[in-house]
Structure 1
């Protein structure tokens, strides 16, 4: 017997404008008025920016101002560079590149919603018919489940930062979500069109972050297909797989034909792919258990409950398909030799979809416990953000103000009325949402996750309005870049360096520093990064290096930069 018994009143869907507004509130803060930060964000932007200002060879060979970046794939950077070309003159290169990031996120969010909607309106997922009628219609039930899946997806803590960065991971998770949607279409219709759509998406995933994730996904779909007959298996093996291979081979083929800058980057790309795979180890298991608990919150508790509640219908498509994908991506994460959050990202779309089917069967006590945890935790976080901002502006509470300025010495607070009004409006909206949830005791399915997603959005919005100047000061290389650029000629020079990808991208973009390209070490200038306490060059016996400048970001005690000029005085 199916575990769901619901009245039609529990399937009240969120208004479309509300969902759109929620998605925009989620993605827009953190993209506007923010510098590329010292992480993969700055490195990814550096590749896009280098492509946009370069020639065809720069589009085939991803690099950051001459530093080749082996690994991942070029698709996300191609799209970012395209938007820089189209809108950089109007919005600035950094913001123009983030238009692609907005598009990536919207594709992923819509795919999660429509995948859940298609699964939720199937006959095997419908609630038990009530004796005197009043059960929801299939379309209404599917829409309500889809709303819940989207709210769970937005509430996942691991998605928050990655979806706002100019990286290949932001595109990868959205393409995985779209591939889930294409898979649902294929399992339902077994049509050639759906198989081609799935194959194309798998090929684009290969061009985004290599072949491991799409291969794991395709394998999971093959294992989940036997109950649907031979035709589905034929579509997967004879249409989707060859199509994915053909799309994924476009970039390696172009590399082999044109050899950008005389090299073929395909070899280093394949080596990067191979380095992402190893036998499961204790280290990978500990990392997975330690970080997935918060990374996939609140999806995993609801997904676990869905598996228990639907255990007697485990062969149903809405359980079997997302579960197969979650299992495949979990195995892939356990086989990763590197402890990094990127290996956990593919879990989120299928887990959010599976979690939505746990909502109709959750007990009221469990729902209230999740709600109270979300309300207390996220309200406390929002309160600390407000108190910290007040401390920075007024100096009270004194201890909090001292701690904030200690982390960013030299920072001068600035008051932005518009940012404060946006933050205040968001806080009032949160209070109204909490009051509605507590006072009304709504019966709609998505009530269990609305506070989790709303609170995450509130805290992120507060950080990206009230604290953005402070965060920019601590995470941006703009100030150091300008200082270095002022010590260099306007043109006709090059700089050798040992700085990493994020720093190189920032110095090239903000300071217009012309670095040596592809291993050329015959430049007049030398820029070195060290720990600050032990310079790399302590003695120049020949007198051929002259120190022109040294400095660091005020908030970073571990990085110091020294600029030298080669030659005699």
Structure 2
């Protein structure tokens, strides 16, 4: 720990200095260790998990097999939902580390890379806005958000988008002091966000940049205009290279990406994403952005300085308001889309924690210890019940969810134990630091995530992996047989190609129906419906414990009485 706050700032009136201990904040390396210990669990040791990881890896796998990064392709079909920055990065990690680990694990390291970049620049923004030592608190408050826990470790493009927003916001925070560097980082972060997920990042960051001069006079300056000009120059290569290459190679795919996947999704002119509900983010953020949101509210309500020029609260508050307004107007909505809002909320929470006092502060500090402790007890207790079978009612309930043979893996158990013990030590060592809540809560989230992704990793993999279904399907098929499909999702097509080499001809996109085999993916349909007369069911399978999807294989003109293979309950 490093003392950074002068003693006189914490000495109460009339209290002898000799009786007061200096407020302490966590050291840089202590925070770095926490961030790395949080990022690593969950990156390796499991197959791509439904719903987003399988199709993302399918696009990465296409780049690895063909070298084509211009047209993202999934199971033989163009997939223009997102630009290829994350896919290219993941393919690079896969080539570099696949000799040491499975291909999908090596690709998933890209998620850890972008998550660390996001935390690094979140910390730099916190330091730039609030002063020395505050960047570490900002990074821990962002890290501790509930919604970030599963997302930051997934093989999904949103981690690159999150990193892009973090870099861009740091550029805005820096521009008043170093306007050229700030402009370069603003443009680079905007370009990263664009190449990760399309026009969302340029749109949001552009509106934030334009709103700041309207909010305060300090942003209405020649230096800020130069910052924006430098940002445009820095962003130009990101905006031009891939779209131009796509346009030259396939103009019709460029039009689909621009109008259908970007404007069409936002305006709701297609059925490609989950639809927004009134007030979706208002009832999602209280849990998704915990604890940053409740700490950000006092900083806005109590701290009146944000209304004046020069306030460090003005930038994060403007960014959050713009993000919330624009995302609420979009016709598509998911909790995942709220990820960029965690950054400005985390910055506001830095000041909010400073304003905590009295009973509310004591309650939050107690919650930072109690909640992770209860979570750890439940996780360890549930795992012991699952592996020993005692009590049977608990074990059966857990295994009914993801049926598998629970085997004790010493390495995972020892690692989970180390995370648990290390958290207890951190609680003891940090009992006298100033920003106690953010540090203890962040350490608690590291511990909980570490236990979840060690003790419970085999259980999760059993229910979320398609490996068993793909292996069973291959056994029921003739080698190299032509197979059509109906209702087969993006993730399923990607995993069947990767795990079993099965590429179907989808009837939904007008593929000719002349195959001897046909695969259906059924969700809520209670009965099987053959493609046409003369088709016989030869196989049915599903992921263990899955009740919302099943797969049925049909054969044209099969011999009556042929044995059927089944996978899963």
Give TM-score, length-normalised by structure 2.
Answer: 0.87
Unaligned runs of 5+ in 1: 122-141
**Alpha-carbon contact 1:550-1:562 (below 8 Å) kept:** yes
**Alpha-carbon contact 2:164-2:188 (below 8 Å) kept:** no
Whether 2:247 is the aligned partner of 1:235: answer no
Counterparts of 1:155 and 1:412, CA distance in 2:
33
Shift of 1:245: 4.5
Whether 2:71 is the aligned partner of 1:61: answer yes
Q: 1:536 to 1:255 in 2, by over 3 A?
A: farther
Partner of 1:35: 47
**Structure 1 residue ranges, 4+ long, deviating more than 6 angstroms after superposition:** none
Whether 2:321 is the aligned partner of 1:318: answer no
Counterparts of 2:39 and 2:109, CA distance in 1:
10
Shift of 1:460: 1.4
**More relative contact order, 1 or 2 (CA 8 Å, 6+ apart):** 1
Instruction: Name the SS for the 2:540 alignment partner.
Output: strand
**Alpha-carbon contact 1:73-1:168 (below 8 Å) kept:** no
Q: 1:28 to 1:385 in 2, by over 3 A?
A: same
Counterparts of 1:553 and 1:326, CA distance in 2:
40
Q: 1:255 to 1:37 in 2, by over 3 A?
A: same
Q: 1:568 to 1:309 in 2, by over 3 A?
A: closer
Q: 1:254 to 1:97 in 2, by over 3 A?
A: same
Partner of 2:326: 332
The counterpart of 1:428, out of the listed 421, 431, 456, is 421
Equivalences for residues 133-532 of structure 1 within 5 A:
142-143=132-133, 145-191=134-180, 193-225=181-213, 226-241=217-232, 243-259=234-250, 263-278=252-267, 284-314=277-307, 315-409=309-403, 411-436=404-429, 440=431, 442=432, 444-491=433-480, 493=482, 495-516=484-505, 520-522=511-513, 523-531=515-523
Instruction: Name the SS for the 1:529 alignment partner.
Output: strand
Shift of 1:197: 2.8
**Alpha-carbon contact 1:67-1:501 (below 8 Å) kept:** no
Partner of 1:556: 546
Partner of 2:101: 91
Shift of 1:313: 4.6
Counterparts of 2:317 and 2:230, CA distance in 1:
23
Counterparts of 2:343 and 2:392, CA distance in 1:
43
Equivalences for residues 67-106 of structure 1 within 5 A:
67-106=77-116
Whether 2:27 is the aligned partner of 1:15: answer yes
Shift of 1:445: 3.2
Deviations 1:99-121 (A, max 9, x none): 21111011001001111112223
Instruction: Name the SS for the 1:563 alignment partner.
Output: strand
Shift of 1:296: 0.5
**Alpha-carbon contact 1:496-1:516 (below 8 Å) kept:** yes
In the alignment of these two chains, the number of paired residues is 531
**Alpha-carbon contact 1:168-1:209 (below 8 Å) kept:** yes
Shift of 1:13: 3.6
**Alpha-carbon contact 2:218-2:310 (below 8 Å) kept:** no
Instruction: Name the SS for the 2:266 alignment partner.
Output: coil
Unaligned runs of 5+ in 2: 1-6, 12-20, 269-274, 560-569
**Alpha-carbon contact 1:73-1:269 (below 8 Å) kept:** no
Deviations 1:9-54 (A, max 9, x none): 6553423332222112111111121111111122211211122112
Give TM-score, length-normalised by structure 1.
Answer: 0.87
**Alpha-carbon contact 1:70-1:268 (below 8 Å) kept:** yes
